[in-house]
Each structure stands twice: as structure tokens, then as C-alpha cells.
Amino acid sequence: MRCLHPVQAHESFLAGGRYHFSKRGAALQKSETWTIHAHPDGEKFIRVDADSLREEGRSILAEALLDRAGGLARLDIRYENAHFPGGVRDLRATYQLADGCLQVGYELNGAERQYQELVLPPGTLIDVPLLPFRGRAIAALAAQGNAPTWLFVPVFDYAQLLPGTLQQVVSPVAAAGTEVLRLGKRAIATRRFRYHDKAAAYWLDKHDVIIRRVNAFQQQEIVVQISNYVAPPAQQESARC
């Protein structure tokens, strides 16, 4: 697993896994590998290696610091795309959140570093577009029902949308029952969530970790399945971003 910064001596491993992608039953050359480590002060550190270099020419390395309450405090991104269809070939970005203010610094395609500051409305949900984060966001959105929710989505691959989008939404996803999935010899109880346009379905375990995702893209079914999954300890509550 690649990372921006190696694991430090004071960090304790909590959880981890790897997502594999397939299309029409054939494995794709892309994956998202992740780990969660605890710091002595109760903060948690998430590392993500989203590697689709051979499949799409794209690579994302992400690290996130969660505060003791489980909220997102900082997100660091290293994005590379050899094809850069959205105008982003190379991006280094840092998102820092404090007292409802989001400060973002980023370097795009080797240019001078830029800074932006956004004031987030109270209760804003941050939906980082990587699978190790998305489970928490999906569960939180579904819990809102028809209540309008402010949603900020960091954007990495479209230059005109940097550093992200902020909009008020009514949840596009809802709970759709429960199901027990097999992961090797393990049986994992999951909650199923489905987007209203029926384009995607997610299965989350009790920690809000995505166990499986099925979505349609250009009339083709894409399946994501977790493997090598080490679940957080029983006393660990799922983090909320």
C-alpha cells in the first residue's frame, strides 16, 4: 500500500481493507486500499491508496485526520491523472476544517499554490468521494430523510470545480432493508441503501463500512467488493465526517 506518510510508532492499527472492482464479472485493474490507525490522544488517521493507474491512468493518495468526536479535521490529497480529461493532471491539496470554516490550499498542475476559504453552514455533511469515507456519508444522508442537508463534496478531477461543491440537497439515498453477505467464511450483517434513481446500491456493516457496491455505468454493471477486511474493534463507533 502506498501512502503520503508512513505509519508512526505512536499509531495503533484499528481497521483496514481493500476494495476490488469488476465489470460484467471481469476484474478491473483498480483498487482502493485503506487503513485506520488510532493516536494516543483519541484522534484517528485514515490512509487511502486508490490505484487505477493501469486501468484509467489515475492515482489518488489520501490521508484524513479525524478528531476525537470522529469529525473530519484535515484531509490531504495527492492526485495524478495521465489522461486529465477534466483538466487536472496533478493536484496536491489540503482541506482543514475548524469552527465551521473550511480552508483549502492546493497546487494544480504544478502552478503556484492557491488558497480558498469556505464558511460551511451548521450541520454540513462532508462526502469525500473515496469508498472508505462514503459509507458514513451514505448512512448520514439516509438518516436525514426528506430534511434538506448541506453537502460539501471535495472535487479532485475537474479543474473548474476545485476545491469542491457545496449545495443543499434532499437525500438522494434511502434505506432498503437488510441482508447477510458472505465474506469468505464470515457472515456479515449489512444494511442496504439504494439511490432513488436506482443507479447504485450499497451494503454497509454496523461500522458504516461499505462491504459491497453495485452500480450501473454506461449500461454496464460495476461491482465493488471488499476483501482483507479487518473491522474496527467492537467499542469503536463509526466516525462521522
Residue 198 has pLDDT above 80, yes or no: no
Whether 74 is in a domain gets the answer: yes
Q: How much is the pLDDT for 79? A: 97
User: Which residue range is the domain that position 82 belongs to?
Assistant: 12-230
Q: What is the mean pLDDT of the chain?
A: 93
Residue 239 has pLDDT above 60, yes or no: no
Residue 235 has pLDDT above 80, yes or no: no
CA 3 to chain centre: 15
Q: How much is the pLDDT for 199? A: 84
Q: How much is the pLDDT for 233? A: 87
Residue 241 has pLDDT above 80, yes or no: no
Q: How much is the pLDDT for 48? A: 98
* Residue 142 DSSP SS3: helix
Residue 197 has pLDDT above 90, yes or no: no
Largest CA distance in the chain: 51
More confident site: 21 or 241: 21
Give Cα separations from 32 to 99, 116, 143, 179 (angstroms). Answer: 31, 28, 26, 24
For residue 31, give the amino acid letter.
Answer: S
**Sequence-distant (≥ 6) Cβ neighbours of residue 59 within 8 angstroms:** 50, 51, 52, 53, 78, 79, 80, 81
Domain total in the chain: 1
Whether 239 is in a domain gets the answer: no
C-alpha cell at 35: 487503513
Whether 92 is in a domain gets the answer: yes
Residue 217 has pLDDT above 90, yes or no: no
**Sequence-distant (≥ 6) Cβ neighbours of residue 187 within 8 angstroms:** 180, 181
Q: How much is the pLDDT for 234? A: 73
Question: Within 10 Å of residue 177's Cβ, how many Cβ atoms?
Answer: 9
Per-residue buried b or exposed e for 70-103, using 16+ beta carbons within 10 Å of the residue's own CB: bebbbbbbbbbbeebeeebeebbbbbbbeeeebe
Whether 131 is in a domain gets the answer: yes
Whether 108 is in a domain gets the answer: yes
How would residue 200 be classed by pLDDT, with cut points 50, 70 and 90? very high
Q: pLDDT (tens digit, 9 = 90+) per residue, 14-51?
A: 999 999 999 988 999 999 999 999 999 999 999 999 99
Residue 12 has pLDDT above 80, yes or no: yes
Whether 189 is in a domain gets the answer: yes
The answer to whether 60 and 68 are in contact (CB under 8 A) is no
Helix (H) or strand (E) holding 53: helix 53-56
Whether 236 is in a domain gets the answer: no
Residue 238 has pLDDT above 60, yes or no: no
* Residue 54 DSSP SS3: helix
pTM of the model: 0.93
Measured CA to CA, the distance from residue 9 to residue 12 in angstroms comes to: 8
Whether 1 is in a domain gets the answer: no
